[in-house]
Chain A
Amino acid sequence: NAGVTQTPKFQVLKTGQSMTLQCAQDMNHEYMSWYRQDPGMGLRLIHYSVGAGITDQGEVPNGYNVSRSTTEDFPLRLLSAAPSQTSVYFCASKSRGELFFGEGSRLTVL
């Protein structure tokens, strides 16, 4: 049972480039979410999904897109990366109120 798996673990982008952070879970959880963690800011919710085909914005959605075509996968897309998006990104799924996190993806935008 792998839990929540995120790829890549590390990524360096140039300003304006696009990329997708992948997230997959094998626990059949309906709820999935993306957070970013920044020093002094704590964890902030970017987008979340309550099931396949349903997504919604969190606290800091600007500059990010998501989709949920299957229960297992919840990719996060950066359309045009900016230095302000340098952060550590965490994917999490939730069941019965308990949140389970992936190991994180560390993104640097130059």
Chain B
Amino acid sequence: KQEVTQIPAALSVPEGENLVLNCSFTDSAIYNLQWFRQDPGKGLTSLLLIQSSQREQTSGRLNASLDKSSGRSTLYIAASQPGDSATYLCAVDRGSTLGRLYFGRGTQLTVWP
């Protein structure tokens, strides 16, 4: 069974810092890896999707990389802002239409001014 782990579970940093969130998975036979953001009381918002043929994706101050062989992905947030405070989750799947996503339990990020 695929297990997805996110470290750290919580992170508190001052505004302006560059930071890295980690996601590891036990079965390297994945197809897609997706990073989400969840604000309190809200749904999950898709941030970045890394598909099978890709090794990284970038959107604004966010950069996500994927190393299937080591079973790891990292989400890099540059110049963090208080508005980045949220829970960040990663999820992996096998890519088929029938495939379910396996979610980590998230990293709760707090960026203080």
- State the A residues within 8 Å of B (CB): 4, 30-31, 33, 40, 42-43, 45, 48, 50, 56, 58-59, 90, 92, 96-104
Closest to B52 in A: A97
Q: Is the CB of A42 within 8 A of B42?
A: no
Does the CB pair B43–A99 fall under 8 Å?
no
Q: How many residues of B contact A (CB 8 A)?
A: 24
Q: Specify which of B46, B97, B100, B103 is in contact with A42 (CB 8 Å cutoff).
A: B103
**Does A45 contact B101, Cβ atoms closer than 8 Å?**
yes
Instruction: Determine the residue in chain A with the shortest Cβ distance to B95.
Output: A97
Residue of A nearest to B42 (CB): A103
Nearest neighbor of A42 in chain B, beta-carbon distance: B105
> Are B45 and A101 interface neighbours, CB within 8 A?
yes
Which B residues touch A104, using CB under 8 A? 41-43
CB within 8 A of B97: which of A31, A45, A98?
Answer: A31
Give the CA-CA distance A102 to B100 in the complex, in Å.
Answer: 17
Q: A31-B97, A58-B100 are in contact. Are A100 and B42 (CB under 8 A)?
A: no
Across the interface, name the chain A residue whose C-beta is closest to B103.
A43
Name A50's closest neighbour in chain B (CB-CB). Answer: B97
Does A101 contact B100, Cβ atoms closer than 8 Å?
Answer: no
Is B31 interfacial (CB 8 A cutoff)? yes
Closest Cβ of chain B: how far from A45's Cβ, in Å?
5
Q: Would you call A50 and B93 a contact (CB within 8 A)? A: no
| B98 interface neighbour in A56, A90, A98, A100, Cβ under 8 Å | A56
Evaluate contact between B101 and A99: CB separation under 8 angstroms: yes
